[in-house]
Amino acid sequence: MSFDIYGNNLRSGYCEVHPDVHQSYPCSLCYAERKKVDDAKRMKKEHYRQMEINHQRDMEIEEQKHSFARSQAIGFNKWCDGLTDDQRYGNDYEFLYKKFLLYQKKQQEGKGE
């Protein structure tokens, strides 16, 4: 005499996990439950993968911001080199930087961008 997983007598030809299902183990219900678990695992995996992708993208955006700031700083220093000492040291940094941005804008417009 065999038993189901609950310790009850198992009728021959019935699933030991689903004793009401007249199919031997693993029955179609077993497969359906297995599939549910697999789907949940897959969704969780996909969720983590998506989070990693988002994290990676955020880091790339940060990196681009930094490299933009770096290239702006280099451009600004170059532009300052072309100023007279009076222009350069007679104005505060904010003012000079605004003038630099205006200069950049004009440069871009000149290129037809």
By CB under 5 A, which span of 20-28, 41-49, 52-60, 99-107 interacts with Zn ion?
20-28
Q: What are phi and psi of 14, to 5 degrees?
A: -105, 160
Contacting residue, 18, 79, 96, 100, with Zn ion by CB under 5 A? 18
Question: In the block, which residue shows the tokens 């804008």?
Answer: 105
Q: Is 10 in the site for Zn ion (CB under 5 A)?
A: no
Q: Say which DSSP state 26 is in.
A: S
x/- binding map, residues 26-65, to Zn ion, per CB under 5 A? -x-xx-----------------------------------
Through-space distance between the first and last CA atoms of the chain, rounded to whole angstroms: 85
Contacting residue, 10, 14, 15, 96, with Zn ion by CB under 5 A? 15
Number of shown-chain residues binding Zn ion (CB under 5 A): 6
CB of 8 to Zn ion, least distance (A): 14
Sign of CA dihedral 67, 73, 76, 82: negative
The residue type at 57 = R
